[in-house]
Amino acid sequence: MTTTSKSTPPAAAAIHACSRAREQKDDSHILRRASWPAAVLLLACASRAVALCGDGSGDGRVRASDALVTLRAAVEGSYDAHLDVYPLGAMDGSLTAGDAIVVLRAVAAETVPVCAAANERFVALTTASCDFVTGGVAMIDAHSYEVVRQRPGVTIADAVIRRRGGRVFALNRFGANTVMELDTTNELAPLWTCSVGLGANPHDIAIVAADKGYVTRYDSTKLAIVDPSHGPGGCAGFLRGTIDLGPWADSDGFPEMDQMALVGDTLLVVLQRLDRNSFFRPLTNGAMVAIDVATDTVTDVIDLAIQNPFGETKELYQEPTTGVLWISGPGRLFTDLTDGGIERVDPYARRSLGVLATGAQLGGDLTDLAVVGTARAYALVAGSGFRVSLVELDLERREPVAVLASSEELFSDIEITEAGDLWLADRNCSDPGVRVFSIANNSEKTAKPLRLQLAPFTLTFVRANDAFAIPAARRYP
């Protein structure tokens, strides 16, 4: 299919936006004096786009050389929220020699410093009983690890949580077919629940504006177009339309649409293309379709190199400097431990960049991935005997270099804060709970799992500035 317009890489737009935001700062360069829109934007305006506090190189580790990067940035007068670590844990909107000293001390202590970019406030979770009969939601303080709220029965057991545009949604999947928005200011109280169609099995949600979003429907051939602004006032008008993805299905007629990523004005939708007539085994490689969100038309299709692209939660990881997307998957789950792996896709050229690491290199079936930097990631890998391990991956060597935890039961999700806390949903039914590790040295910070009324299933972070992150209303055709 011929490609139409392609989205502008995020770097150019980000540079322009950051320049405008910095113009709003006064001569003192103190962020707290800037207007809130500028303050929120400046959190994303880094001289180097990284995802770990104190990591100036973006490789996923805090090293002595990062202190030099911080000092150089301070001398040049540039700003990076990931290097803004002084006063300790404060957001002063400037870089000085003090920030470099804090980074250096963190290296010596084998810790990750807290920075201005690390604004994760709570962990929001979906939970499910071990027999998968009862579901719910819960909230944990991201700093004290205190369980703040539990609401069993709010969701079904097969529900996943998503944070999109500063809003938190629970997708009630198989058997319920609904989207629910949760109130992060009121301990995850449900705000509204709307259906996306009988038997739809919603898997992911993308928000492009306050009045427009998309929901992948795993058991349908048609992607749902929704209006999440209708939810609070009733579900009439919530389902705005559909986009037919059936032409890109495998032989059983269903494309198994799953994860999504919004890149500029293009929505990328992952298709697993599993064979329902053969116990959902992949008989062909996965694919991605590109959709123009202004016209709701498919403009391109990208053939993937791996089978069964799959991730339990979160959106697809996008490299902050290049915009390249990362896709992971197990391939033939539990029957072939050598296939699947990690694949990179250029969303602008609309082509696969090939497989970064295979299941053979990773040691088994990859079921979840959290990328820290250019050289480092963490993954859930299922090996022989259904044993699953939480491992650190060296992306340059393309192999695991450390095992943080293992279980013969289910590890269902991992997420990492910018301050270096790795959160693990451990569904070991003899002792289920949430466990926290420090990626500075891979040590476990929780003496025992944080217990909930139901076992943890999926998780996301509620950020301190979420109230300012909701997209402005914009009407599309």
| Range of the structural domain that residue 191 is part of | 120-468
Residues 135 and 249 in one domain: yes
Residue where one domain finishes, among candidates 109, 131, 154: 109
Residues 314 and 272 in one domain: yes
- 235-241 long-range contacts (CB < 8 A, ≥24 apart) are 235/192, 235/194, 235/195, 238/194, 238/195, 239/194, 239/195, 239/196, 239/197, 240/212, 241/296
Considering only the C-alpha atoms of the chain, give the largest distance between any 2 of them, rounded to a whole number of Å.
66
Residues 181 and 321 in one domain: yes
First to last CA, the chain: 23
In a domain, 115, yes or no: no
pLDDT at 37: 33
Q: What sign has the CA pseudo-torsion 346, 347, 349, 351?
A: positive
In a domain, 476, yes or no: no
pLDDT at 426: 97
Instruction: Judge contact between 170 and 151, C-beta under 8 A.
Output: no
Taking the C-alpha atoms of residue 216 and residue 267, their distance in angstroms, rounded to an integer, is 11
Residues 242 and 167 in one domain: yes
Alpha-carbon 401 to chain mean position: 23
Residues 147 and 249 in one domain: yes
In a domain, 5, yes or no: no
In a domain, 192, yes or no: yes
In a domain, 3, yes or no: no
List of the chain residues with pLDDT < 70 = 1-50, 88-91, 312-313, 467-477
Taking the C-alpha atoms of residue 305 and residue 209, their distance in angstroms, rounded to an integer, is 32
Taking the C-alpha atoms of residue 314 and residue 330, their distance in angstroms, rounded to an integer, is 16
Q: How far from 120 is each of 116, 133, 311, 330, CA to CA, in Å?
A: 10, 31, 22, 29
Residues 154 and 174 in one domain: yes
Helical (H) or strand (E) element with 377? strand 376-382
Size of the chain, expressed as the number of residues it contains: 477
Taking the C-alpha atoms of residue 399 and residue 362, their distance in angstroms, rounded to an integer, is 5
Number of domains observed in the structure of the chain: 2
Helix (H, G, I), strand (E, B) or coil at 160: strand
Joined tokens for residue 74: 């301070």
Instruction: Judge contact between 204 and 159, C-beta under 8 A.
Output: no
What CATH number did the domain enclosing 187 receive?
2.130.10.10
Instruction: Judge contact between 412 and 427, C-beta under 8 A.
Output: yes
pLDDT at 313: 64
Residue where one domain finishes, among candidates 109, 141, 163: 109
Residue where one domain finishes, among candidates 50, 79, 109: 109
Is beta strand 281-282 parallel, antiparallel or unpaired with respect to 455-463? unpaired
Residues 98 and 132 in one domain: no
Residues 310 and 398 in one domain: yes
Residues 104 and 124 in one domain: no
In a domain, 28, yes or no: yes
Residues 318 and 233 in one domain: yes
Helical (H) or strand (E) element with 19? helix 10-23
pLDDT at 91: 61
Q: Identify which of 91, 53, 48 has the alpha carbon closest to the alpha carbon of residue 73.
A: 48
Q: In what order do the strands lie in the sheet with 421-426?
A: 411-416, 421-426, 433-438, 443-444
Joined tokens for residue 415: 């997420």
pLDDT at 473: 46
Other CB atoms within 10 Å distance of the CB of residue 238: 22
Residues 163 and 284 in one domain: yes
Taking the C-alpha atoms of residue 450 and residue 434, their distance in angstroms, rounded to an integer, is 5
In terms of DSSP H, where are the helices of 147-197? none
Which residues are CB-contacts of 2 (< 8 A; sequence separation ≥ 6)?
Answer: none
